[in-house]
Amino acid sequence: MYQNHKLTISVHSRLHLTLIAMHNGEYRINGGLGFAIADPSCELTFFANADFAIDDQRVIPLGDNELKRLVTLLQAEQQRHDFPVAAEIAISGNMRPHFGFGSGSAISLACLEALHRLNGSIPTPEELVAASGRGGTSGVGIHSYFSGGCVFDLGRAADNNSHTPSHQATASRPLLLDQLPMPDWEIGICMPLSIPHKSQADERAFFERTCPLPAEAVYETLYHSLFGLYAAIRDADRTTFCHALRAVQACAWKKAERLEYGVALIEIEQALYAKGAEAVGMSSLGPSLFFLADNVAEIVNQMRLARPDCEWLLTRPANFGRKLIDA
């Protein structure tokens, strides 16, 4: 009786350029800037079912503990609304978890949205975000899920709580400053397969030993993010965007993230610059890199030969949110 209702949701990655207020701020903490990209992407297929069952078919699937947490999240939402139907879920695509693409937020939101729709409920974005528990560190992932584009948020009110990764932060939602379309720039993606990615435990440990930053370091990041990256996106000025992106890599927060991977990541970055990249950035806590250039496709092809230990993609910004097919 349950297998008749099928739902498919396609979600896209987001590149997170940097977190900002990672100090003991008197006004707000966290906040960040980033944008959605068309690829890597992930497709989730849902069937109405008596119980929850998740089959992650990706090359790197979610771990057992992460699958259990996702099922627990969905069971809590089912009980909260007294939904009669659960879901059988299949996950496919090339969006790797813990590679800096925001897969955790995207998959959580997609599963919650599907659960509602399989039960005849049409939830608001605000309801889904609240149920997901995501967005406490940055609003880039939760906002780009619904409508794509570039997201700049101002974090949450300072409340004496410590800085934590998004999967752990359950405080108030971030304050959206602006959401706007990204210019149609070609972007190269590098996923270093030989560099171990960070687990959720690794992320928590990183935040604990790195935060809080000195206020002066945060002011520098904010300047390059607001007057550099954000203004360049508004002006569709790729040259200034690249200049600011390079500057952000040397700011305290992003520098600390990059140092987690040492010389292995630096060697890939140097190779990209040698091939003609105009700017190279690391998305979120990595280890994935992205770059802009006049000849992105050519560099991607050359790097596939030079560094077969990495996965290389050519992509563009996605000025649209998740795609839903209800069959």
Stretch 110-133: mean pLDDT, rounded?
A: 96
99 contacts 286 by C-beta, under 8 angstroms: yes
Q: Are strands 6-21 and 323-326 parallel, antiparallel or unpaired?
A: antiparallel
Residues 142 and 200 in one domain: no
Q: Are strands 53-56 and 86-93 parallel, antiparallel or unpaired?
A: parallel
**Count of CB atoms within 10 A of residue 85's CB?**
16
Q: Determine if residue 190 is left, alpha or beta; phi over 0 gives left, psi from -120 to 50 gives alpha, anything else beta.
A: beta
pLDDT at 163 over 80: no
* 250 within a domain of the structure (yes/no): yes
pLDDT of residue 36: 98
Residues 152 and 170 in one domain: yes
- The rounded mean pLDDT for the chain is 94
215 contacts 21 by C-beta, under 8 angstroms: no
296 contacts 314 by C-beta, under 8 angstroms: yes
pLDDT at 172 over 80: no
DSSP SS3 for 150:
strand
- pLDDT tier at 169 (50, 70, 90 boundaries)? low
Q: Which of 172, 108, 111, 106 is nearest to 140 (CA)?
A: 106
pLDDT at 239 over 60: yes
Write the CA distances from 4 to 46, 311, 327, integer angstroms: 11, 37, 9
Q: Among residues of the chain, what percentage have pLDDT more than 70?
A: 95
Stretch 42-56: mean pLDDT, rounded?
A: 97
pLDDT in tens, 270-294: 999 999 999 999 999 999 999 999 9
Longest dimension (CA), the chain: 61
Structure tokens that stand for 219 in this block = 């002011």
pLDDT of residue 3: 54
CA distance 114 to 6: 10
CATH number at residue 121: 3.30.230.10
Mark out the alpha helices in the chain (DSSP H runs).
64-81, 103-118, 125-132, 140-147, 200-210, 215-223, 231-235, 238-249, 252-259, 262-275, 296-306
Residues 139 and 224 in one domain: no
CA distance 268 to 311: 12
Residues 177 and 199 in one domain: no
Report DSSP letters for 219-271, one per residue: HHHHHIIIIIIIHHHHHT-HHHHHHHHHHHHTSHHHHHHHHTTHHHHHHHHHH
Question: Amino acid letter at 80?
Answer: R
CA distance 269 to 282: 9
pLDDT at 167 over 60: no
Stretch 96-113: mean pLDDT, rounded?
A: 96
Task: For residue 183, give the H/E element and its range.
Answer: none
Residues 165 and 226 in one domain: no
pLDDT of residue 1: 45
Stretch 210-231: mean pLDDT, rounded?
A: 97
Residues 49 and 164 in one domain: yes
**Domain span at residue 311?**
187-315
pLDDT in tens, 68-90: 999 999 999 999 999 999 999 99
- pLDDT tier at 64 (50, 70, 90 boundaries)? very high
- pLDDT tier at 168 (50, 70, 90 boundaries)? low
Stretch 253-280: mean pLDDT, rounded?
A: 97
pLDDT of residue 270: 98
Stretch 15-34: mean pLDDT, rounded?
A: 94
* 79 within a domain of the structure (yes/no): yes
The structural domain count of the chain equals: 2
Residues 177 and 191 in one domain: no
Stretch 201-213: mean pLDDT, rounded?
A: 93
Stretch 148-170: mean pLDDT, rounded?
A: 79
CATH number at residue 246: 3.30.70.890
pLDDT at 233 over 50: yes
Q: Determine if residue 119 is left, alpha or beta; phi over 0 gives left, psi from -120 to 50 gives alpha, anything else beta.
A: alpha
pLDDT of residue 164: 65
275 contacts 292 by C-beta, under 8 angstroms: no
pLDDT of residue 15: 98
CA distance 317 to 290: 12
- pLDDT tier at 173 (50, 70, 90 boundaries)? confident
pLDDT at 171 over 60: no
Q: Residue 243's beta-bridge partner residues?
A: none
pLDDT of residue 199: 86
Q: Name the CA radius of gyration of the chain, rounded.
A: 19
* 218 within a domain of the structure (yes/no): yes
